Amino acid sequence: MARAGTNGILLLAAAVLSAGLAGCASYRPAPKVFHEATIQPYRLDSGDRLRVTVFEQPSLSNTYTVDQAGYIAFPLVGQVPARGSSLTQLEGAVAQKLKQGYLRDPDVTIEIDRYRSIFVMGEVGQAGQYAYVPGMTILNAIAVSGGFSSRANQHDVDVTRKINGQILTGRVPITDPILAGDTVYVRERLF
């Protein structure tokens, strides 16, 4: 009888250990490109609102939003692809389209009017969608969302980020920078 109880305890311990190891298998440190993305030029994507100025053309100067398909709808020239472009690249693309029969030598300047939102989820005071501010860290994003809950893991978080058209998730310290469009997930601490 005592032998059966020992076997049951061993089976239970093995089950707990395998469940714990399965949890470790889902741990993914952030890949190298994940960190490199924070020092690269800003890449446009859906939800970014841009202030476009065409010198001496007030009817063309306005704010435009990058739509879900990744384009801005620009007067005279129609859809201009913006997703994945830097501001300088988009300035060149708009100027090139305007040169094709509309303006002789267009001088186009583009600035970010409003960055796409970030999302903070998990063990925070108020999970949701928040405005991105350049230079923001993960800790800043958590503070904006009401801070950590009493059950939160306060050392590192999982961040999902779109890089070169791919969606990647990695675990990073809370002091890391955040990018527009990122999703931050604060996990529950184990103990």
pLDDT digits (tens, 9 = 90+) for 56-95: 999 999 999 999 999 999 999 999 999 999 999 999 999 9
Q: Is residue 172 one of the residues assigned to a domain?
A: yes
Residues 62 and 119 both lie in one domain = no
Expressed as residue numbers, the domain containing 164 is 27-41+115-186
- Residue 118 near residue 161, CB atoms below 8 Å: no
SS3 130: strand
- Residue 99 near residue 140, CB atoms below 8 Å: no
Distances in Å between the alpha carbon of 75 and those of 71, 80, 146?
13, 10, 41
Give me 3's structure tokens.
């032998």
Residues 98 and 140 both lie in one domain = no
pLDDT digits (tens, 9 = 90+) for 137-155: 999 999 999 999 999 999 9
- Residue 34 near residue 161, CB atoms below 8 Å: yes
Residues 133 and 180 both lie in one domain = yes
Residues 64 and 151 both lie in one domain = no
Q: Over pLDDT 70: what percentage of the chain?
A: 85
Domain end position, chosen among 114, 138, 162: 114
Residues 122 and 36 both lie in one domain = yes
Domain end position, chosen among 84, 114, 144: 114
Say how far apart CA 53 and CA 47 lie, in whole Å.
19
Question: What global pTM score does this model have?
Answer: 0.78
- Domain with residue 66: its CATH number is 3.30.1950.10
The residue type at 140: N
